[in-house]
Amino acid sequence: MKIISVINEKGGTGKTTSTREIAGVLKKSKKCLLIDCDYQANLTGSFGIEFDKTIYNVMTGEDINNCILELEKNVDIIPGIINSRDLETALEWESSKEEILKNKLETLNKKYDYVVIDCRPDMRLLEKNALVASDVVLTPIEPHTYSLDGFDILEELLKTIKPSLKDDIKHVGFFSRVAIGNAPKSVIAGSDNTYDNILDSYIRHSVKLQECSLVGKFIVDYAPRTNGALDYKKLVKELKSKKII
């Protein structure tokens, strides 16, 4: 089981979309669990689901199996919560509280091939739990001059909590929401860093990606021949061929 967190210090770069669509590609042959660790709960909202258990219940002692909702064959979800404050308060005196999710996910090792987590890098309890549990951290970046700063900030952030992370954790970035005609790697060409850990594949701007989240579908099913579907397939292929996931 590989645990992948999708994270960027900036909003609107395609984290939620990428979490959903990467699982959408993987589900063709692998069993996936989505987890919504973003306090905006957009991932949960994008499937329009109603379920009374959330990541809050997982974190506060409920059996994780009771908090998993089946979305379709090969894709399950643990929904998110809007208010983080309650969780921080509930776990105030808990010991090893940053390892709760990791420990619970270990019990699902035989049930899933991939866990894909949507999170924000606020470094509150849920995000820390996601990173501590992760084998791979994926950062979607928008291709403009300062966008790579976000990748660097995250690298630094990961360094500050390194002792808590898995030893072989990998952090890679990819360009997302790329306007047609834009050559994203030219952004890197102008920077001092070679950025070996930025993928070659990138996600083009695609209106269909916006549409499919409104109707609770994966792009590979909703519009399989569009740029969005093709690009996420390519991205997953590169992640697999480079043995990142």
Ligand X SMILES: Nc1ncnc2c1ncn2[C@@H]1O[C@H](COP(=O)(O)OP(=O)(O)O)[C@@H](O)[C@H]1O
The contact set with ligand X (CB under 6 A) reads: 11-17, 42, 176-177, 203, 205-206, 209-210, 213, 228
Could you tell me which of 213, 149, 215 has the C-alpha nearest to residue 232?
Answer: 213
For β-strands 2-6 and 136-141, DSSP reports them as: parallel
Q: Of 5, 16, 176, 226, which one interacts with Mg ion (CB under 5 A)?
A: 16
Report the residue number, 100 or 140, with the smaller CB distance to ligand X.
Answer: 140
Of all residues in this chain, which one has the CB nearest to Mg ion in the complex?
16
Residues 28 to 57: which contact Mg ion by CB under 5 A?
42
Nearest approach in angstroms of CB 15 to Mg ion is 5
**From the list Mg ion, ligand X, none, which binds 213 (C-beta under 5 to 8 Å, kind-based)?**
ligand X
**From the list ligand X, Mg ion, none, which binds 13 (C-beta under 5 to 8 Å, kind-based)?**
ligand X
Report the residue number, 15 or 233, with the smaller CB distance to ligand X.
Answer: 15
Q: How far apart are CA 99 and CA 72, in angstroms?
A: 29
Cα distances from 116 to residues 23, 25, 26, 119, 190, in angstroms, run 7, 12, 10, 10, 32
Close Cβ partners of 107 (under 8 Å, ≥ 6 residues apart): 64
Report the residue number, 56 or 195, with the smaller CB distance to Mg ion.
Answer: 56
